């Protein structure tokens, strides 16, 4: 049994070192780490302790074998850093990804980029430099310029977005069109005729899908009191859009927001303008989060488990890397959770 102190610092640790330190065979180390029977609990503990002391994990072995950093998954996000810090969506999404990655002793390599060209160049560098074993592609645009170069690259990747946007990449998506239609139908059923939507950036694919579904459903229901405002997902912009909608003639009696933070901002604007929620104004958030339950009244929302969505994206990526997944995976459609912020409009 070799003492760990005799190893040269920085020298690569192998499964042999772990087996030697724990006083077991290589096969026993493998069984222990693959959570398979054949190793007693006490031996398993000894193996884990030896691996911990040496800083070894089975992951490192996989990496040595493949010559590829399968233990690292890349995620480039093309949004200003300050904005990212303010958007609850991404942190919940990333936390879901991390949950699945941690199970497999994998880590997420995160980079903010300024534009899609920089993003494409980064993925080329990560893949050719063997930095990542695969990547998660987000925020698809119409005719997204990343698709062609990244398909050529051959890096395993999962695209987050509707298959109509993601150019043949294996994808994970939510049916935003049906959810947007459900939101409008619910408000119409409560008696609202003038419904507005405070949406995300016009260029983003999923914002476009929601905007079109909003228009179509309003038309289908014969409601022409519709207005849509595009924003950058920031609370202040949600507040500004709400003030502008509420001070216009024929103000809406209901507003649908594309994220939770803008809906919270909308509720504060209603309070500031002396409008009662929901009697004077109904508010409906998207991507239900704890924020929606913490306001008074709590906000009705299109509930969507963003954490679970992130988990599914990570699981799908592992499927792509292992060659067991190729198509599109649809997660549950966001569904309406009515709370105190929506109700019939007051008769005037």
Site for its own copies in 182-241 (CB under 8 A): 234-236, 239
Options 136, 159, 241, 267; binder of its own copies; rule CB under 8 A? 267
Question: Distances in Å between the alpha carbon of 188 and those of 184, 196, 275, 342?
Answer: 6, 12, 20, 11
Options 166, 282, 289, 342; binder of its own copies; rule CB under 8 A? 289
Q: Which are the contacts of 121, defined by CB distance < 8 A and separation ≥ 6?
A: none
Smallest separation, CB 302 to its own copies (Å): 18
Whether the Cβ atoms of residue 234 and residue 325 lie closer than 8 Å to each other? no
Question: Distances in Å between the alpha carbon of 172 and those of 190, 314, 322, 329?
Answer: 33, 10, 17, 5
**Helices 205-220, 176-189: crossing angle, 10 deg rounding:** 40
Tell me which residues in 143-182 interact with its own copies (CB under 8 A). 154
Q: Tell me the window of 163-171, 195-203, 293-301, 324-332 that interacts with its own copies (CB under 8 A).
A: 293-301
Options 19, 24, 46, 60; binder of its own copies; rule CB under 8 A? 60
Smallest separation, CB 294 to its own copies (Å): 5
Question: In angstroms, rounded to a whole number, what is the distance separating the alpha carbons of residues 113 and 133?
Answer: 20
What sign does the CA torsion over 120, 107, 102, 325 have?
A: positive
Our finding on whether 307 is near its own copies (CB under 8 A) is: yes
Q: Tell me the window of 122-130, 206-214, 251-259, 322-330 that interacts with its own copies (CB under 8 A).
A: 122-130
Instruction: Give the nearer residue to its own copies in terms of CB position, either 112 or 190.
Output: 112
Our finding on whether 279 is near its own copies (CB under 8 A) is: no
Q: Which are the contacts of 215, defined by CB distance < 8 A and separation ≥ 6?
A: 226, 228
Question: In angstroms, rounded to a whole number, what is the distance separating the alpha carbons of residues 133 and 160?
Answer: 17
Smallest separation, CB 252 to its own copies (Å): 19
Q: Tell me the window of 96-104, 140-148, 175-183, 213-221 that interacts with its own copies (CB under 8 A).
A: 96-104
Our finding on whether 117 is near its own copies (CB under 8 A) is: yes
Name the one residue in this structure whose structure tokens are 């969505």: 309
Interface mask toward its own copies for 325-344; x: CB under 8 A: --------------------
Options 21, 50, 119, 127; binder of its own copies; rule CB under 8 A? 127
Our finding on whether 52 is near its own copies (CB under 8 A) is: yes
Our finding on whether 271 is near its own copies (CB under 8 A) is: yes
């Amino acid at each position: 049994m070799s003492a760990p102190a005799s190893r040269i610092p920085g020298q690569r640790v192998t499964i042999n070192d772990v087996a030697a330190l724990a006083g077991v065979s290589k096969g026993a180390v493998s069984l222990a780490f693959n959570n398979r029977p054949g190793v007693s609990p006490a031996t398993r503990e000894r193996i884990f302790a030896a691996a911990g002391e040496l800083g070894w994990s089975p992951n490192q072995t996989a990496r040595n074998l493949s010559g590829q950093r399968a233990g690292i998954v890349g995620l480039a996000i093309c949004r200003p850093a300050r904005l990212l810090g303010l958007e609850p969506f991404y942190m919940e999404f990333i936390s879901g990804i991390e949950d699945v990655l941690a199970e497999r002793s994998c880590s997420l390599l995160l980079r903010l980029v300024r534009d899609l060209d920089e993003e494409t160049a980064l993925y080329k560098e990560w893949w050719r430099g063997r930095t990542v074993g695969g990547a998660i592609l987000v925020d698809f645009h119409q005719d997204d310029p990343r698709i062609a170069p990244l398909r050529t690259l051959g890096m395993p990747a999962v695209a987050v977005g509707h298959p109509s946007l993601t150019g043949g990449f294996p994808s994970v998506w939510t049916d935003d069109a049906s959810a947007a239609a459900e939101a409008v139908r619910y408000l119409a059923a409560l008696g609202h005729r003038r419904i507005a939507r405070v949406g995300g950036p016009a260029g983003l694919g999923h914002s476009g899908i929601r905007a079109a579904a909003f228009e179509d459903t309003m038309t289908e229901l014969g409601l022409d009191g519709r207005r849509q405002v595009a924003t950058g997902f920031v609370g202040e912009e949600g507040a500004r859009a709400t003030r502008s909608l509420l001070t216009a003639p024929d103000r809406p009696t209901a507003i649908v927001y594309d994220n939770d933070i803008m809906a919270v901002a909308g509720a504060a604007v209603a309070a500031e303008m002396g409008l009662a929620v929901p009697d004077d104004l109904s508010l409906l958030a998207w991507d239900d989060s704890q924020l929606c339950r913490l306001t008074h009244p709590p906000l009705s929302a299109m509930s969507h488990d963003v954490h679970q969505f992130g988990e599914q994206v990570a699981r799908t990526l592992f499927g792509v890397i292992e060659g067991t997944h190729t198509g599109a995976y649809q997660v549950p459609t966001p569904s309406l959770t009515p709370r105190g912020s929506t109700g019939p409009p007051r008769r005037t």
